[in-house]
Amino acid sequence: MSVVILSDVHANLPALQAVLEDVARTAPGAPIWHCGDVVGYGAFPNEVITELQRVGAIGVMGNHDLAALGDNVIETFNEGAHAAALWTRDVLTAESRSWLRALPRVVEMGAATIVHASLRDPIMEYVVQREIAEENLRVLATPLLFHGHTHIPALWSLQDGVAHATHVGTEAIALRAGSLVNAGSVGQPRDHDPRAAWLLWERDELGAGLGTVTWRRVEYNIPAAQEAIDAAGLPDFLASRLAIGR
């Protein structure tokens, strides 16, 4: 069974549409999970929510989703993120707010847990260091955790009590119990690759393993996303960074 994991769409409709087209070709009918930060930064918050509703995506709350709902987490944002969050608050429809507000912070889906940031702090902690990965792996109750927040694809696994990072490329990677899997970002990648990222989990339904994960990258209409950001009057760098994946 295939499962699609998306994260950090950030109101980038052209990127989400390109990813969903790739999903339809690669894993038609697969359930879609998302790791939060549906809105923020980009200019299509209501539209991306509508798309995720259309495909029946199941997922969690991110820090930018909270900020768009009026939470004081916005006070931790840089100037551009802060401006985008305030703009998003103004343009969200009542239906979009209701959908965002209903998102939980943690979801367990069988062998996997879904959060935005980390298990210890589902909203804000960045899993970028071995020590942080290790501490989260020690309290993980399911074999796998899928998350986002850093906008960078990553895989950490616990081996002999120590967290080890696995290089992420284009090939499928076999999963082991005790793994943190970062799906990367659909709408604002930061690994110097501007293509939208999404994750395909191909579960091992017959064997004893957890299956494999493969990160896929998809080209999308970056100028369209940039033009919409500019038209909304959002900070220029939120548009320019999309072209360089930073």
Using one digit for the tens of pLDDT, what is the confidence trace for 119-140? 999 999 999 999 999 999 999 9
The pLDDT of residue 173: 95
Residue pair 40/85 in contact (Cβ under 8 Å)? The answer is yes
Pick the CATH number of 6-241 from 3.40.50.2300, 3.60.21.10, 4.10.520.10, 3.40.50.300: 3.60.21.10
pLDDT beneath 70: ranges in the chain: 205-208
CA dihedral 19, 100, 245, 158 (to 10 degrees): -90
Q: What pTM did the predictor assign? A: 0.96
The pLDDT of residue 195: 98
The pLDDT of residue 238: 98
Domain extents for the chain?
A: 6-241
The pLDDT of residue 160: 85
Q: How many CB atoms lie within 10 A of CB 11?
A: 32
Q: Would you say how long the chain is, in residues?
A: 246
Q: Which of 44, 42, 49 is nearest to 102 (CA)?
A: 49
